[in-house]
Amino acid sequence: MTSLVDEIVGRLVNSHETKQPIEFIRHRYTLDEETSYLVQEELINQKCKLHNAEITGYKISMTSAETQAIANTDEPAYGTLLSTHITNSGDAVSLSSLFAPLIEPEIMFVLTEDLSAEADEDEIIRKSKICAGIEIPDARYVDWFPNFSLPDLLCDNTATGLVVLSNQIEPLPFNEFEHIKMELFHNGAKISEGLSSAVLGNPVLSVAWLSRKLAKKNKILKKDMIISSGTFISPLVAKEGTYRVTYSDIGEVEITFVP
């Protein structure tokens, strides 16, 4: 098992470092979910060593029935956020530094205390700040979206590229998390809109799912971790220019892509 994991991680690390996309993992290897997450963990270990990075949180993928159907699964998946994945509202990002990035409007949770194993919704709200965010998924595969399988996604850290954070605010009451309205603009023109109920019915439920999933691996969510809770809409291809996202009762966030 170790040699298989190391072989796959070697291919992924080489792709990351050379910026050369590779074919899907499934074309060469048959992996179950457990092994795919082991590949992700070792990929993260290698990335930390290579770039002097630290684990700073998690991102939750496939929080809608539509995206779960793509990967033939009935639950979300998670990826691991590193310090190198975090950027702030108003920053500029070079498209040439990425592979094939997408845009996903997401609410970010920032933990003010460690969560207990399998933390419930009340505890999550009590121990969090939130902020308007954007996730920028980016995978290391040729023609990756929407053609991936679950093992492909998990092995490459669920296509983690960057997450964009705005200013932190106090969380909303649980029920109000279900009714957050989102509008997405590109260079000032509105291009999409959505509701927070698209994220497992409520983004707090998404974080609760993550807490339960990690508890099965004897892991907990810790103070200061950032959690990207799931997209309000189907991902859009990122293009040159400025994207701005507004969220009712939360605020706004923007990122500019340059060549």
Number of Cα atoms under 13 Å in the Cβ half of residue 8 = 30
How far is the C-alpha of 199 from the C-alpha of 81, rounded, in Å? 19
pLDDT tens digits, one per residue of 1-55? 689 999 999 999 999 999 999 999 999 999 999 999 999 999 999 999 999 999 9
CA distances from 178 to 17, 60, 203 (A): 40, 17, 7
Q: What is the pLDDT of residue 42?
A: 97
The full set of domains in the chain, from first to last, is 2-258 (3.90.850.10)
Q: Report the distance separating Cα 57 and Cα 44, nearest Å.
A: 12
184-215 pLDDT, tens digit per residue, is 999 999 999 999 999 999 999 999 999 999 99
CA 153 vs. chain centroid, Å, equals 11
Tokens representing 140 are 């290391």
| Residue given tokens 């595969």 in the structure block | 141
Tell me the C-alpha distance between 199 and 135, whole Å: 14
- 49-59 confidence digits (pLDDT tens): 999 999 999 99
| pLDDT score of 1 | 66
DSSP H or E run through 10: helix 2-18
**pTM attached to this predicted model:** 0.96
Question: What are the residues facing 227 on neighbouring strands?
Answer: 58, 109
Residues in the chain: 259
**Tally of CB atoms within 10 A around 55:** 15
